[in-house]
Structure 1
Amino acid sequence: MSADGARHLVVMGVAGSGKTTVARLLAGRLGWVSAEADEFHSAANIAKMAAGTPLTDEDRWPWLRAIRSWLDEQEAAGRRAVVTCSALKRAYRDILAGPKRDVTFVHLTGSAELIAARMEHRTGHFMPPSLLPSQFQTLEALGADEDGIAVDISGTPEEIADEVIDRLGLRQG
């Protein structure tokens, strides 16, 4: 774990796990820039998911490279960043981590039942709850050699953000 040396955080997990909410809290508390991975999806990817069709790896590669490019831009500008991304597979996280391995992953974990219930109450998002099972099937837990932590989502978003900051030894801005 990089602790306060982490240049960037990727808040990861299946759809509905609270990535956006937690990432916004972290960015605000730390004074870091932030981005939402959904902003990097092509119109074709969004249409595919909205129609209930899971993305393939081929759909995801350009999206992941775009997120990594954004992280590189933040690095070049001397900024620390928080970005959300499902990052379900190790291969996806390897792209996001980049050659310098300057990313710490924050995996938001919870039961399928809890996350499905949250998704049922969410409005205005293109990802339908019907795709949640495919996300859990694709999900590969963080490996022991990956820079990151897993955080249970049963607490409030504020408690989750506090836990991330404490466990990673980050200084609030």
Structure 2
Amino acid sequence: MMLSTPLICVMGVSAVGKSTVGIALAEALSVPFADADDLHSDANRTKMNAGTPLTDDDRWPWLDAVGGRFGAASETGLVMACSALRRVYRDRIRSVAPEVLFVHLTGSRELLLSRARARTDHFMPASLLDSQLDTLEDLDADEAGFHVTVDRVPGVLVAEIVARLGR
């Protein structure tokens, strides 16, 4: 059963469409949207911009900020775009906001690479896609969430997500 004020993390690797789908989903659910990328430190952004993958030590403060943002939104609801690539990262978010549901956007490497190469306004270079795919851990059966394949237009994806949320 979905909470009346949903806390939804739209997760996946770079170029999967987390922000695009997240913004549209937040609008469909009438809740605020946030992008976890905005919570990265300047040092993290500099590393990623240079094509250097983040370490877990780089990520912990960022994940704490993501969890805190979800925790602060328990009354308003929130959809946030956040990579949340590993189980331990999702656990870190859930340690602050246990009600978060993860919507894992998935797509073929070829599709994601073509999207990443087409972007000109993003700090995450296409060269980091393989590192993200290598890091990605699928949702475990005991994690609240589900997968959505991104080989369709955003409106269709959002309609599927809303239906799966029981809304």
For the criterion TM > 0.5, the same-fold answer is yes
Against the structure 1 CA distance between its residues 99 and 68, is the aligned structure 2 distance closer, same or farther, given a 3 Å change threshold? closer
Q: Give 1:140 deviation, angstroms.
A: 0.2
Task: Report the number of matched residues.
Answer: 167
Q: TM-score, with normalisation over the residues of structure 2?
A: 0.96
Q: Which amino acid aligns with 2:160?
A: E
Unaligned 5+ residue runs, structure 2?
A: none
Output the CA distance in 2 between the equivalents of 1:168 and 1:7. Answer: 9
Which residue of structure 1 lines up, in the alignment, with residue 12 of structure 2? Answer: 13
Which residue of structure 1 lines up, in the alignment, with residue 31 of structure 2? Answer: 32
Output the CA distance in 2 between the equivalents of 1:39 and 1:100. Answer: 19
Which residue of structure 1 lines up, in the alignment, with residue 65 of structure 2? Answer: 66
Q: Which amino acid aligns with 2:139?
A: L
CA RMSD between the two structures = 1.2
Which residue of structure 2 lines up, in the alignment, with residue 115 of structure 1? Answer: 112
Output the CA distance in 1 between the equivalents of 2:34 and 2:153. Answer: 21
Structure 1 contact 4–168 (Cα < 8 Å) conserved: no
Q: C-alpha deviations, 1:53-109, integer Å up to 9, x for none?
A: 00000000000000111111112xx11100010000000001112356211000000
Structure 1 contact 25–158 (Cα < 8 Å) conserved: yes
Is 2:50 aligned against 1:51? Answer: yes
Where in structure 2 are the equivalents of 1:62-101 lying within 5 Å? 62-75=61-74, 78-98=75-95, 101=98
Output the CA distance in 1 between the equivalents of 2:145 and 2:120. Answer: 30
Is 2:128 aligned against 1:131? Answer: yes
Q: Give 1:7 deviation, angstroms.
A: 3.0
Output the CA distance in 2 between the equivalents of 1:99 and 1:7. Answer: 15
Unaligned 5+ residue runs, structure 1?
A: none
Structure 1 contact 103–147 (Cα < 8 Å) conserved: yes
Secondary structure of the corresponding residue to residue 102 of structure 1: coil
Q: Which amino acid aligns with 2:99?
A: D
Output the CA distance in 2 between the equivalents of 1:124 and 1:30. Answer: 27
Secondary structure of the corresponding residue to residue 119 of structure 2: coil
Structure 2 contact 11–103 (Cα < 8 Å) conserved: yes
Against the structure 1 CA distance between its residues 86 and 114, is the aligned structure 2 distance closer, same or farther, given a 3 Å change threshold? same
Q: TM-score, with normalisation over the residues of structure 1?
A: 0.93
Identity, % of aligned positions: 47
Secondary structure of the corresponding residue to residue 98 of structure 1: helix
Structure 2 contact 71–97 (Cα < 8 Å) conserved: no
Structure 2 contact 16–150 (Cα < 8 Å) conserved: yes
